[in-house]
Each structure stands twice: as C-alpha cells, then as structure tokens.
Structure 1
C-alpha cells in the first residue's frame, strides 16, 4: 500500500478518536428523578418556569392577597420560597381574587401575568376580573406591577392569562378567558335544560386571543374568539364539555385555562371545560396553523379527566400547562383533587406525547412513580 495512503488513514483515525473524546467530554450528564403524583404542593392553576439558572419554579393560585412560589432542582423535592407578589394595597389597581399566575423569563427579567379583581368597579359588578403584569429581577420576587393598571380593558371580566412569544413572526400573543358572569348563551343544551325545568339559562366562558404590545402595555387590534362550548348536541365535544350542566352541578359551561404552544408547524391550544371546583373538570385541545386560529378541536378530547370511574383516586383535573424538559420530553402540569380530600387542589405532572399524525395524548392522571430526566 502506498505510504501516503497509510499516513492518511492513520490521520483520519486520530481525528475520529479526538472528535469522539471531545464529544464525550462536552456531553451533559443526564439526571433522572422519580416523581409521584400528587406533588407535595397544594395550589390551583400551576405553572412551572424552567429558569436560566437550571431550577424549576412553580407558581399558582393559593393566597388571598397575591402569589407564592416553590423551587426545585429535580421536580420531585420542592422548597417553599414564600410570597413573591403581594397585591390588594390601597394604592394598587387590584383588590382580591388573585388567580392563575404565569411567569416568563425575558431579557434578564421575570414577568408575571395574572388575574385579579379590579379596584375600578363603578357599576359594582360581582365579578370584575382583569389581567395584570408584574416584573422582578428574580424568579422568587419580589414582583411589582409593571403598570398600576390592567393590561387592557373590555366590558366583561377576564381571567387566566397565557402568553406566547412567536419566534416565527416576532410577535407576542395574549390568551385569556371571558368569564361566564352575565353571559347567557343560546344553545341546544340550554334549551334542553330549560325544557326539563333544571336551569332557565346557561352561562358560558370563552377563550380569546390577541396580539400584545412588546412592552406588555396593551393589546394590538381586537381580541379574536378562539374557543367556545358547542351549540349543538350532535357536536362530538358537547357531551364532555357540558358535564357540569348535565349532572346538575351548575348552570355554567366553561372554556378556560388556555395554554398555547407550537409543535412542528402546528399551534396547539389546550383548555379546560366544566366547573373547576367539581369532579368533571377536564382538559381538551385544538390545533391551528395560525396563532389566532381558526382552531379545530381534537376528536380524541378530553385528553385528561378524572380516573375515579376507572377505580382511580383523582378527580377534577384541569388548568394545565406544558413543560418541555432538556431532553425535549413534554409533560402536562395541572391541578386535580384526590378522592380522599376533594376540597383541596393538588399539583400533578404526567407525560404528554404527540404522535406522527399530530395527535396529542396525556398518560394520566397517574399516582405511581415515574422517572423524569431533568
């Protein structure tokens, strides 16, 4: 064999070995924790931020005058951080009912979007919820309001802020739910309940989306209606989205707790239906090619619901978010209620998968140990 060829072969082998060794040195160590539902945290509407410091921060509905946070390195063991936002002060725009915080890390700061009753209530409405945004230099606060007012004003109460930063067009989108309050809607289920003498009317909450200004000071254009309960009983979504009504639990049909994310070239918006305080609270999803729709609800809804009817111990599953782990695995974080104490909301986390056809499923609710790479 030609000596030059032999030298080239030796050089290529040395380069291969060097590249292999270099790759092994740069490869990050994989850690795996064992997580069992429910997590040791009692709150509603959970949201987990995986911050740039590598830690996981959880926020949710729990305090009468603001929000608290918990921190974890492995999603299994959690440490309380105390109250990170305090509202309801005489000089603040909000009064009470502090619900559903979500925190996003942007340009070295942390922004908390949340719902609360507004102090500005000239007609003395029973529900006067608006959306606010607070900022902090740390994920554990203290958070202070970026503006001492709601982000925007509409003539109906709104809750459950969710924000999506779209890399495709550089825009920021805000999603929220119009409350059921003073919002009776005509539908076949409403007609049926009236004929049966159960309810005179059925109120509904709807999910809207709108572009938001980059500085979160307001919205761009008008909100777009994205999701609402079905009007016809023949609609395949009608049965599961109307269970709180058909079980005579309450005369309201909710579409709330929305969470938007993108997978491949589709936008997925997840939402909760039925009464958040009841056993029928459940999660569905819809998809679109555009962040403001139109969205089409999935045929396999609901993708998360109680398991008591199957011998399990979890009811009232809803208001979820989706957490992507470092290995790109997706997890659904949500609250539920255990049959041993149905009056208390607890936090659960279960694997979420999307198959090659774009069908989303959640492997839960579970109450056995599961391994999560973090």
Structure 2
C-alpha cells in the first residue's frame, strides 16, 4: 500500500474541495429596480416562518391594511386586505396608518395607528396605537383588544417595537397636533409673518407589557426637532417650515435596531406629503436613550438636486437579508408616480466607525445575492 505524505494529502484535499465547489449550484441572484410595483406608504417587511417575505403598509383610502408577498424581495404579489377595522367601538374606520407585524410564538401581531372612537372633545386628530393578531402572516388580523395599548392624553402614531431579554419596548411619535413649541426656528418664521406658531412631533419610548395590555413606567422623550438654529440638524429638519410649506416640524416614523452593541434609531423629518421628507438617525447605548443625532444626517433624502427623480423619501425600516446585507425599506415618489407613495429598497451599511450609510435613493437595477 502506498503511503502519502501529509503535504500530499493536504494537496489532494484542496483539489477535492475545489472540484466540489466548481460542481456546486451557483447562488441565485435577483435583480430589481426602484421603485417597486408596490403602492404603500410606511412600508414594513417581515420574513415569516414559512420562508416568504410579507410587506405591509399604509394604503390609500383603505379602512385597514393590505399586504404583499414575495419569495425574493424583488417581485411582489398583492394578497389583498389582511386587516379591516372590525371594532367600531374602538376605531372610526378611517386613517389606518403605519402597520408593523411581528411573529411571536407562532402568532402574528400587527401594531398600527388609527383614530380612536373615544373622542369626547371632538379632536381633529385622535390617533392611538392598536394591536391585532392572526395565526397567519396573510391574516385575517383581528383586534386583540377593544381599546388602544394605552392613552397618553395626546394623539400618537408610528408604533415600532424592540424585544430584548424578555422585555418589550414601544416607540411612537406624538403628533404635531396642538403641540406648539417655542424655538429659534419658530421665532424666525413668525418674524417673517409666515406662521404664528410652529407645531412639532416628538418621538417617545416606553416599556410595555409583553401581552400588549399596557405600559410599564412613563414614556421618555427621545428625539425632537432642534431648538437652536445653529444646531447642525436644524437646517434639514426644518425644511417644511423654511420652504413655507407648513407650520410643522416632524420627528416621526422611528425604527430601532442594534448593531455592534449600539442602538440605532432612524427617524423621518418634514412633511410626509412633500418633497423634503427625509431620514436621519441617532445612536445610544440604551434602548431608552439618551440618543445622540448623527453628524452625517440626513442619510436619505430627495435626489432631484443632483439630477435624480426621487422625492419624499421617508418612514423607513431596516431588514437584514439571509446573506447578511441590511436593506433600508422606505417610501418615496417620482415624477411618474406623482403624489402616490411607492416602495424603495436600498442597501444600508454600518461603517467600522459606526457611521450609518444608506446607498440610495436608486432607480437603476440593483442585485440581491
């Protein structure tokens, strides 16, 4: 029997590995192009236990929410309405916004914003956060309770959840409605006779009970528009005011995730229906802050100033693909789509120094490997 040396055996092994690799089926890549053929605002993507991707979002003139399904993130099929405001004692059956769906113990929980029926003062904006549940990501989702999770005493929208060590954290945005705030930007606009006051929306965080029945402790203010005009964030977060578009400054559409021990909270500023809607982010070492806004904000905004065709980019979420790539999913508009909000997906990366970058908005073919 011939005896091979260790060096020869290693060489043979290397040849076999190379040969097997050459015979392996190449990984399939998928090409897509923004905007996707999905007319959603506030999009949210879930990869369910059935291996498929589901997208939920705000639909125009819907008394609830539709969903789409995909096998590859590029090609989406509308599966119709998955939730309808079925509890008239709770919701006014209008203004259903920003659904997010989470898979917990083989059930699917949808958090959403809607007009709460209980409105003794007849407020024009009376939004609260509701929860619906289903046995399938395709629905139908049914209200978990005949009430919101809690009532903070002011309208709130844009629920987002973070789960950690058995605890659940809820993030939401207080609406601008009846929330006038003193600031140098407000004084500047008032001196010019543009607006009498500037209303603002702020992002809060609070721990909630795992069964969604209520909150634990008091909500904490996490993010708000800058007070001083020399704040490095003031220019981009105030464009709806400085362009005389509207007398409001928004901090909304938050989405939190954790990377390398740091909590990243992405958020949107400016009027969602205008061209200046844009996305920034802030970081913290604690899920309830304090958060520090990033110096490279905004990380996603209109590209028309650079010859592009995309405006109104905002209300994003972050999705991690099986290949490890993170993607920013958001809505925007083009000249072709007009005022209709449509969905975009672009790669997101965290640099070694912790800086977050969104490689978009793009309208050229992109590849998902």
TM over 0.5: yes
Find the aligned partners of 1:276 and 1:111 in 2 and give their Cα distance. Answer: 26
Residue equivalent to 2:314: 318
Find the aligned partners of 1:153 and 1:231 in 2 and give their Cα distance. Answer: 27
Residue equivalent to 2:265: 269
Residue equivalent to 2:75: 77
Matched, 1:256 2:260: no
Find the aligned partners of 1:39 and 1:192 in 2 and give their Cα distance. Answer: 40
Find the aligned partners of 1:259 and 1:44 in 2 and give their Cα distance. Answer: 15
* Structure 1 residue ranges without an equivalent (≥5): none
Deviations 1:11-38 (A, max 9, x none): x869968x969x97xx997331101000
Find the aligned partners of 1:254 and 1:150 in 2 and give their Cα distance. Answer: 23
Q: Given the two structures, how large is their TM-score scaled by the length of structure 1? A: 0.92
CA RMSD of aligned residues (A): 2.4
Deviations 1:189-223 (A, max 9, x none): 00011111110100000000111111111111001
Using a 3 Å threshold, how does the CA distance of structure 1 residues 218 and 16 change in structure 2: closer, same or farther?
farther
* Aligned-partner SS, 1:192: helix
Q: Given the two structures, how large is their TM-score scaled by the length of structure 2? A: 0.94
* Aligned-partner SS, 1:283: strand
* Aligned-partner SS, 2:342: strand
* Aligned-partner SS, 2:218: strand
Find the aligned partners of 1:71 and 1:276 in 2 and give their Cα distance. Answer: 25
Find the aligned partners of 2:306 and 2:312 in 1 and give their Cα distance. Answer: 14
Residue equivalent to 1:163: 161
Find the aligned partners of 1:31 and 1:106 in 2 and give their Cα distance. Answer: 30
Residue equivalent to 1:55: 52
Find the aligned partners of 1:20 and 1:108 in 2 and give their Cα distance. Answer: 40
Counterparts of 1:135-154 in structure 2 under 5 Å? 135-154=133-152
Counterparts of 1:218-229 in structure 2 under 5 Å? 218-229=214-225
Matched, 1:361 2:357: yes
Matched, 1:105 2:103: yes
Give 1:330's match in structure 2, choosing from 322, 326, 329.
326
Counterparts of 1:1-374 in structure 2 under 5 Å? 9=6, 30-62=27-59, 63-87=61-85, 89-166=87-164, 169-373=165-369
Count of matched residue pairs: 366
1:148 shift after superposition: 1.3
Find the aligned partners of 1:51 and 1:90 in 2 and give their Cα distance. Answer: 30
Using a 3 Å threshold, how does the CA distance of structure 1 residues 202 and 91 change in structure 2: closer, same or farther?
closer
CA contact (8 A) 1:55 1:72 kept: yes
* Structure 2 residue ranges without an equivalent (≥5): none
Using a 3 Å threshold, how does the CA distance of structure 1 residues 14 and 139 change in structure 2: closer, same or farther?
farther
1:360 shift after superposition: 0.4
CA contact (8 A) 1:112 1:133 kept: yes
Deviations 1:66-101 (A, max 9, x none): 000000001121111110000054344453210000
CA contact (8 A) 1:266 1:288 kept: yes
